[in-house]
Amino acid sequence: MDFYILLILLGVCCAILTAGFCGRSQRWGPWTMLIGISCLLILIMVMIYKLSRVV
């Protein structure tokens, strides 16, 4: 995964998380935050996996 693609995906995940936080009093807010946090954790997992692979 290219570094710039990672930064774009990180920005998208943070935007989703922020949108969920802004709507936290609505029904969709907590679910949106859950999706944003899941995206961030998946990105971290992919980067750890990529950095730990010995090629």
CA angle 30, 35, 38 (to 5 degrees): 125
Rg, the chain, Cα only: 13
Total structural domains in the chain?
A: 1
- The torsion region of residue 33 among left (phi > 0), alpha (psi -120 to 50) and beta comes to alpha
**Is residue 28 in some structural domain?**
yes
Pick the more confident residue, 55 or 27. 27
**Is residue 10 in some structural domain?**
yes
**Is residue 37 in some structural domain?**
yes
Full residue range of the structural domain in which residue 22 is found:
3-48
Q: What is the pLDDT of residues 12-53, one digit of tens each?
A: 999 999 999 999 999 999 999 999 999 999 999 999 998 898
**Is residue 25 in some structural domain?**
yes
Q: What distance in Å separates the CA atoms of residue 7 and residue 32, rounded to the nearest whole number? A: 20
Q: What is the pLDDT of residue 55?
A: 63
Place of tokens 């954790």: 41
